Amino acid sequence: MFKPFEICSIRPPTENQSLTFRLTRNCYWNKCTFCPVYKQGARFARRTLDDVRQDIYSAKHLNDRLDELNADSDFSSLMSSQSADEYQNAQKLIEQILDIQGPDADLAGHSIPANDDDPITNWFMQWFRDVPTISDSINHLLAWRMGGRKTCFLGDADSLILKPEFIREVISTVKNVFPSVHRFTVYGRTATAARFRLLSELKEFRKAGLNRVHFGIESGSDTVLREVRKGETKDDHIRGCLKVKDAGLSVSDYVMPGLGGQKYSDEHAKETADVVSQTAPDFVRIRTLQVFPNTELSKQIKNGTFKEASEEQVVAEIRQMIEQIDTQTQIISDSATNLLQINGRLPEDRSAMLNVIESYLALSPTRKKMFSLQARMASFEGQYGGFSRDIYEELAPYIHNGDLDIDSIPESAVDALILLLRSRLMP
């Protein structure tokens, strides 16, 4: 019998081709006003070491079968490629298992039922699997195999709450079963590192084989952190990041331009830059705020207590951060929610990154909107490989002879299209 194994649906973009195993399920904090994840009925739970090991061996069982199928493939043909054979054999294995075990082995594993009144959340939640299927598991292995078979992410939301001994046993098992894996990463909360983990314990994580911690710091402003109910402070961010670095682990921080809204835009940018300057993380990843329906933040927008920052304000926040960060770090824009691609090392690439920002800010209001539309379309195609039916139908009136005539789209339609595209982009 082949069994699915639990996958970390929510993981950093750098781990999209990593092998993943869930050490905990979901998020124990789960109070952030901007976050749509884990708010639809999924409950936090710690998993036992036996459960995790069973998942690792289930993954090995499936992976060994993929190796057998690939060994039987004929790579001698000029028309054959290893990547094509990998994909075909993965689909063949799915069909074989379903033929033997029946269609119930591949029942949809969405964590919530569809809601006809909320298509945006439905769109988002189709990518979140609380209960995986055989298809999910095999396609997950396929992505890892195609990505080089070298990395592993251990989730879900804050693996630093676990004891070093637990992490050591999991990593040891993964290394024994999948010897090609050499990098292990986790999500963490700075409050956990700052308040609840001794430096000696974090060093034990490093000795166990952990390489990197991803922190969603979002903001360095205590005001903003309190408003969005992050459950962490600026001091937590600073002490947590520095302690993890002192333990010999790499730190990757996620910041969220726009999270302060119009009211706290300047403070949000200034204080976030200060946290980065004081902690010098290896990476700073930009995640522009995207407001999802049915979150507390969306309710605050409706009742007028939160006013979203405009795209120009968000870009100005990023400019302020780039100008004020006073340390060596790598800035990465690897989220589809971002309008501009701001990438480079500080301080040496500061001028180049600021030039990209100033070029956008110098555009006329109309050209800014057209730029935004084109950027969101490119992000959507890059993320999904093409347009969904509803978006194509919205664009169809402006397609002539197979080409989209951007300049023929009226400004009111541009605004609606940007909103639609942004609502479907995964952070």
For 27, the domain range is 1-153
In three-state secondary structure terms, 189 is coil
In the predicted model, what is the mean pLDDT of residues 148-162?
97
pLDDT of 49 above 90 = yes
pLDDT of 73 above 90 = no
CATH number, residue 205: 3.20.20.70
**Residues 292 and 394 occupy one common structural domain:** no
Q: What is the distance of C-alpha 220 from the center of its chain?
A: 20
Considering its fold, how many domains does the chain have in total?
Answer: 3
In the predicted model, what is the mean pLDDT of residues 152-169?
97
More confident residue, 120 or 244: 244
**Residues 33 and 49 occupy one common structural domain:** yes
Identify each DSSP E strand in 131-172 by its residue range.
151-155
320-335 confidence digits (pLDDT tens): 999 999 999 999 998 9
Give whole-number Cα distances, 181 to 17, 56, 175, 178, 244, in Å: 12, 13, 6, 6, 22
CA 210 – CA 187 distance, rounded (Å) = 11
Residue 227 domain flag:
yes
Residue 169 domain flag:
no
29-48 confidence digits (pLDDT tens): 999 999 988 766 678 999 99
Residue 167 domain flag:
no
pLDDT of 251 above 90 = yes
Nearest-10 crossing angle of helices 49-71, 164-177: 20
In this predicted structure, what is the pLDDT of residue 361? Answer: 96
Degrees, nearest 5: CA angle 271-314-382 = 120
Of 125, 153, 181, the position where a domain reaches its end is 153
Question: Which pLDDT band, with edges at 50, 70 and 90, does 117 fall under?
Answer: low
DSSP string, 241-291: HHHHHHTT-EEEEEE-TTTTTTTTHHHHHHHHHHHHHHH--SEEEE----P
**Residues 386 and 245 occupy one common structural domain:** no
In the predicted model, what is the mean pLDDT of residues 356-382?
94
In this predicted structure, what is the pLDDT of residue 401? Answer: 85
Degrees, nearest 5: CA angle 283-121-303 = 90
In the predicted model, what is the mean pLDDT of residues 342-353?
98
pLDDT of 160 above 50 = yes
178-231 confidence digits (pLDDT tens): 999 999 999 999 999 999 999 999 999 999 999 999 999 999 999 999 999 999
In this predicted structure, what is the pLDDT of residue 78? Answer: 44
pLDDT of 129 above 80 = no
Cβ 262 vs Cβ 299: under 8 Å: no
pLDDT cut 90: percent of the chain above it: 75
**Residues 214 and 334 occupy one common structural domain:** yes
Question: Which pLDDT band, with edges at 50, 70 and 90, does 127 fall under?
Answer: low
CA 89 – CA 68 distance, rounded (Å) = 10
CA 19 – CA 154 distance, rounded (Å) = 9
Cβ 235 vs Cβ 194: under 8 Å: yes
Residue 183 domain flag:
no
Cβ 420 vs Cβ 372: under 8 Å: no
Residue 133 domain flag:
yes
In the predicted model, what is the mean pLDDT of residues 94-101?
90
Q: What is the pTM of this model?
A: 0.92
Residue 165 domain flag:
no
Among 243-252, 357-366, 413-422, name the one with the lowest average pLDDT.
413-422
In the predicted model, what is the mean pLDDT of residues 285-295?
91
**Residues 373 and 305 occupy one common structural domain:** no
**Residues 226 and 201 occupy one common structural domain:** yes
CA 314 – CA 296 distance, rounded (Å) = 21
CA 383 – CA 124 distance, rounded (Å) = 13
**Residues 232 and 370 occupy one common structural domain:** no
Kindly report the average pLDDT of the chain as a whole number: 91
Question: Which pLDDT band, with edges at 50, 70 and 90, does 386 fall under?
Answer: confident
Query: Which amino acid makes up residue 77?
Result: S
**Residues 196 and 249 occupy one common structural domain:** yes
